[in-house]
Amino acid sequence: MSPPVKLFFLAFLALLAEVHGQLQIGFYNQSCPTAESLVQQAVAAAFANNSGIAPGLIRMHFHDCFVRGCDASVLLNSTANNTAERDAAPNNPSLRGFEVIDAAKSAVEAACPQTVSCADILAFAARDSANLTGNITYQVPSGRRDGTVSLASEALANIPAPTFNATQLINSFANKSLTADEMVTLSGAHSIGISHCASFLNRIYNFSNTSDVDPTLSSAYADLLKAKCPANSTRFTPITASLDIITPAVLDNMYYTGVQLTLGLLTSDQALVTQANLSAAVNNNANNLTAWASKFALAMVKMGQIQVLTGTQGEIRTNCSVVNSGGLGYVGMGSGHPSEVATS
Ligand code: HEM
Ligand SMILES: *[C@@H]1O[C@H](CO)[C@@H](O)[C@H](O)[C@H]1NC(C)=O
Ligand SMILES: *[C@@H]1O[C@H](CO)[C@@H](O)[C@H](O)[C@H]1NC(C)=O
Ligand SMILES: *[C@@H]1O[C@H](CO)[C@@H](O)[C@H](O)[C@H]1NC(C)=O
Ligand SMILES: *[C@@H]1O[C@H](CO)[C@@H](O)[C@H](O)[C@H]1NC(C)=O
Ligand SMILES: *[C@@H]1O[C@H](CO)[C@@H](O)[C@H](O)[C@H]1NC(C)=O
Ligand SMILES: *[C@@H]1O[C@H](CO)[C@@H](O)[C@H](O)[C@H]1NC(C)=O
Ligand SMILES: *[C@@H]1O[C@H](CO)[C@@H](O)[C@H](O)[C@H]1NC(C)=O
Ligand SMILES: *[C@@H]1O[C@H](CO)[C@@H](O)[C@H](O)[C@H]1NC(C)=O
Ligand SMILES: *[C@@H]1O[C@H](CO)[C@@H](O)[C@H](O)[C@H]1NC(C)=O
Ligand SMILES: *[C@@H]1O[C@H](CO)[C@@H](O)[C@H](O)[C@H]1NC(C)=O
Ligand SMILES: *[C@@H]1O[C@H](CO)[C@@H](O)[C@H](O)[C@H]1NC(C)=O
Ligand SMILES: *[C@@H]1O[C@H](CO)[C@@H](O)[C@H](O)[C@H]1NC(C)=O
């Protein structure tokens, strides 16, 4: 193809993608070619100081995508009129890495003002975190736009609880168009990171009227957890346990081995061996690191496409914790306002 024809062809493809509202690998190739590497540098720098930000960012992307789609609604601050997602019980105070997204956003804004969405930055940052903790790499389709609404009540309603059983987990993911197998695959993210005592207290105290401890939890491990976690722990009690006690800092398949050995920390972790089809997936993942890692990458890409805003929907936020139109972020403002419609 001659250069002008090629250019026309590329522009035509870009238009098609926009019309169909799809994300594209390399969406910022022309408009901000350094975007992905600037995010990677910000994440790598933060990780070098505190390795906990990697699990934090992977979880943050999940919590973003499960509430109004991957639109960076999880990053918005509460206002006088509105309690935002990040202040809901599943996020506050356990969600971490907000300052890393802000640092990445500052670097990207300096290079290409008002071009790269916070939702894409979060998706890139989660990918970079998987690379840093498990050498799991994948390309992230981008072109997401940022939402203008963030409601704590929706976080509570859409983020699965750690006390969920297999049926509840399957339904929660099915509601986001993710299969039971993808739910098991993505639960492998619990191969890194931590949980506050309050998230597994139900398993170690007052489990039932016949047994103080959940019988599906290793009793030796339960003793260890009881020594660590006071019975009056709340989500604000700053005591934590690793989600994967075998290789707590490596994003690998040892989480599944732990579940096989009744070392799953949360009710929802151990629930993966309570149904035959889920249990088979746990065994497959435990037996083949390569197979799980590639399924994990695919499932992360799929999760990253839940209900995304594209084209002229939403906005490109300037500051990831406030909406452009004045920092309100309550229902009824923002989306589609003429001043926010992209001109590209
Ligand atoms: C299957 C349903 C899931 C439930 C019920 C669940 C629940 C939880 C809970 C309760 C915590 C600990 C929070 C705390 O107390 O500090 C946690 C941590 C975490 N979750 Fe999940 N989760 C689920 C799925 C996922 C998925 C799909 C991902 C990502 C793909 C994910 C990534 C993480 C990570 C990385 C951590 C550690 C966070 C950190 O160290 O800061 N989880 N999860
Ligand atoms: C961006 O460039 C990469 C590498 O050349 C290519 O794979 C990708 O398709 C490009 N994306 C767009 C939207 O141009
Ligand atoms: C390094 O991590 C600690 C927490 O572990 C945090 O308090 C501090 O602000 C971080 N410093 C930088 C420069 O990111
Ligand atoms: C959003 O809230 C965080 C945490 O309270 C705070 O550090 C940050 O400055 C706030 N951002 C804005 C733009 O007000
Ligand atoms: C939000 O609260 C501020 C003061 O806290 C008030 O001035 C404003 O009118 C409120 N907006 C709405 C839409 O309720
Ligand atoms: C993965 O991380 C390493 C170490 O920071 C870096 O050198 C490499 O470029 C990253 N790979 C990808 C695909 O991001
Ligand atoms: C990371 O994975 C790539 C293949 O995806 C491999 O070539 C490389 O050696 C791995 N790096 C490490 C540090 O294991
Ligand atoms: C799972 O939890 C739901 C809601 O509490 C309950 O109705 C259902 O019976 C439970 N299923 C199993 C298999 O325990
Ligand atoms: C998810 O649940 C909501 C609210 O119950 C419902 O409106 C929506 O259709 C469900 N989506 C899917 C894909 O099941
Ligand atoms: C267990 O439950 C009993 C009865 O509901 C209650 O009195 C007791 O305080 C509980 N203990 C703990 C450790 O939560
Ligand atoms: C223990 O709980 C079960 C249901 O969880 C109930 O059927 C049974 O009556 C209870 N027994 C006592 C002694 O409270
Ligand atoms: C929680 O229990 C511990 C002892 O297990 C006690 O030292 C502490 O004061 C209690 N905290 C609260 C807030 O009740
Ligand atoms: C593990 O999975 C990979 C990729 O799916 C496959 O090529 C390989 O044969 C599997 N290894 C075993 C031992 O099953």
Looking at the chain, the whole-number percentage of residues with pLDDT higher than 70 is 89
Distance 268 CA to ligand 10 centre (A): 23
pLDDT at 2: 53
Q: Could you count the other beta carbons within 10 Å of the beta carbon of residue 18?
A: 16
Distance 119 CA to ligand 5 centre (A): 26
Joined together, the tokens standing for residue 103 give 């640092």
Burial class from Cβ neighbours inside 10 Å (0-12, 13-18, 19+) for residue 1 reads exposed
63 is catalytic: yes
* Contact criterion met (CB below 8 Å) for 211 and 192: no
With a 6 A CB cut-off, is 26 part of the ligand 2 pocket? yes
Looking at the chain, the whole-number percentage of residues with pLDDT higher than 90 is 88
Give the CA diameter of the chain: 78
Q: Which helix (H) or strand (E) holds 122?
A: helix 118-134
Strand partners, 240: 196
pLDDT at 21: 74
Binding-site residues for heme b sit at: 190
Of 96-100, 191-195, 330-334, the range with the lowest mean pLDDT is 330-334
Give residue-wise pLDDT tens across range 223-281: 999 999 999 999 999 999 999 999 999 999 999 999 999 999 999 999 999 999 999 99
pLDDT at 56: 99
Q: Has residue 338 got a pLDDT over 90? A: no
Residue nearest to atom 3 of ligand 8 (CA): 168
Residue nearest to atom 7 of ligand 12 (CA): 230
pLDDT at 334: 38
- What integer is the mean pLDDT of 128-150? 98
pTM over 0.75: yes
Distance 5 CA to ligand 1 centre (A): 48
pLDDT at 258: 99
pLDDT at 14: 54
pLDDT at 125: 99
Q: Has residue 341 got a pLDDT over 80? A: no
Answer positive or negative: Cα dihedral of 254, 296, 294, 182: positive
Distance 210 CA to ligand 6 centre (A): 51
Residues 66 and 188: their CA atoms lie apart, in Å, by: 17
- Nearest atom (ligand 9) to Cα of 174: 14
**How confident is residue 325, by pLDDT bands cut at 50, 70 and 90?**
confident
| Cα–Cα nearest to 21, from 334, 305, 342 | 305
Q: Has residue 13 got a pLDDT over 60? A: no
- What integer is the mean pLDDT of 33-53? 99
**How confident is residue 328, by pLDDT bands cut at 50, 70 and 90?**
very low
Residue nearest to atom 10 of ligand 3 (CA): 49
- What integer is the mean pLDDT of 96-115? 98
pLDDT at 242: 98
Q: Has residue 141 got a pLDDT over 60? A: yes
With a 6 A CB cut-off, is 283 part of the ligand 13 pocket? no
- What are φ and ψ of residue 329, in 5° steps? 75, 30
| Active-site pick, 20, 61, 63, 196 | 63
